[in-house]
Amino acid sequence: MLGTAWDYQDHPREFLAKLDALEERGVTVCNPSKVVRWNSEKRYLRALEQSGAATVPTLWLDDAGQGDIVAAMSRFGTDRVVVKRQVGAGGLGQFSFSRDNLPAQDWTMGRPCMVQPFLPSILEEGEYTFVFIDGEFSHGVSKRAGPGDYRIQSLYGGYETDFTPSQADLAGAEAIVAALPFDDLLYCRIDMARLPSGELAVMEAEAIEPYLYPEQGPGLGARLAKAILARL
């Protein structure tokens, strides 16, 4: 099982080569290396969108500068956007720009990135996590940003509470799991945020080594143990 691989984005090739080498030796790796490879670039969200999943509208760019940010605002009909790395985690290297707070003329992302309209729901109700073990919903988590930030990660003052999803919201998360191009995931975490339409959209489908929020899911350990045993 992958453990604390939270700097893989800095060494993606070595990380994936190691997983492949383990599988070649006949070691069962969870999640499998093919899943990790697919999940290590956020472009998988594009594939999910193409298969009909509810996603956040996104522009995929090889790089971005001030002109791209202004163009994205016009394209989305919004005054605020978020720019993030296509390979990234933990909110690192992410920016939020508004019409009265544009990047400097000479600013560039300097890498492949994605631009999205800023979802006001992140500030109003936060983000939701749905943890799945062996394809079955285990537990939900509500994640809110702390004062003065929009990122829900604890690194920026965010905090988590228990969350029991409505039937409609759970169905939204289950639809994302169903849209994944794999059916052998030991665990995955579907992070979702609400679109202005009221529907939840996938922000990330984390299948590498996501934090699975055991505090909010007391049954997690037993569920995971059972799913691991079934693979041995």
Ligand X SMILES: Nc1ncnc2c1ncn2[C@@H]1O[C@H](COP(=O)(O)OP(=O)(O)O)[C@@H](O)[C@H]1O
Please give the residue ranges that form the binding site for ligand X (CB under 6 A): 56, 82, 84, 88-91, 94, 116, 118-119, 122, 127, 145, 150-152, 191, 203-204
Closer to ligand X at the Cβ: 23 or 91? 91
Among positions 148-207, residues that touch Mg ion (CB under 5 A) are 204
Closer to ligand X at the Cβ: 18 or 80? 80
Binding of Mg ion at residue 209 (CB under 5 A)? Answer: no
3-state DSSP of the chain: CCCCCCCHHHCHHHHHHHHHHHHHCCCCCCCCHHHHHHHCCCCHHHHHHHCCCCECCCEEECCCEHHHHHHHHHHHCCCEEEEEECCCCCCCCCEEEECCECCCCCCECCCCEEEEECCCHHHHCCEEEEEEECCEEEEEEEEECCCCCCCCCHHHCCEEEEECCCHHHHHHHHHHHHHCCCCCCCEEEEEEEECCCCCEEEEEEECCCCCCCHHHCCCHHHHHHHHHHCCC
| 209, interface contact from Mg ion, ligand X, none, CB < 5-8 Å by kind | none
CB of 204 to ligand X, least distance (A): 5
Closer to Mg ion at the Cβ: 48 or 227? 48
| 160, interface contact from ligand X, Mg ion, none, CB < 5-8 Å by kind | none
Binding site for Mg ion (CB under 5 A): 204
